[in-house]
């Protein structure tokens, strides 16, 4: 019984290779020859262009807001340094 196992395994392996190798070639050719995605339409290109301009405008506005925030913070910190430390804070009733 053990003497027949190796030839049977060899035949099965041969059959799998005879059938599997051409199938692998067909599958590989199908993968290589897949059509490329179609180029985007003119509408999509124009819409993406408008979105790009809108995002750039938003970035400029956010930069202006942050610059104003830095300026306000600087003014408030300088104002806080101008108040003498010996006076009690407002609203303490003293």
pLDDT over threshold 80, residue 87 = no
Query: Residue 48: CB partners within 8 Å, gap ≥ 6?
Result: 40
pTM: 0.46
What are the residue boundaries of the structural domains of the chain, listed by start?
Answer: 1-33, 42-81
Cα dihedral value 78, 83, 88, 91, nearest 10:
-70
89/83 Cα distance (integer angstroms) = 10
15/8 Cα distance (integer angstroms) = 11
30/33 Cα distance (integer angstroms) = 5
Instruction: Give per-residue pLDDT as tens, 32-43.
Output: 887 778 899 999
Instruction: Give per-residue pLDDT as tens, 27-73.
Output: 888 888 877 788 999 999 999 999 999 999 999 999 999 999 999 99
């Amino acid at each position: 019984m053990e003497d027949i196992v190796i030839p049977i395994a060899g035949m099965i392996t041969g059959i799998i290779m005879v059938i599997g190798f051409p199938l692998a070639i067909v599958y590989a050719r199908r993968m290589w020859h897949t059509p490329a995605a179609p180029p985007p339409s003119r509408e999509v290109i124009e819409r993406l262009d408008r979105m790009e301009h809108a995002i750039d405008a938003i970035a400029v506005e956010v930069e202006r807001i942050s610059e104003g925030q830095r300026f306000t913070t600087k003014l408030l910190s300088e104002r806080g340094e101008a108040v003498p430390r010996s006076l009690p804070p407002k609203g303490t009733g003293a």
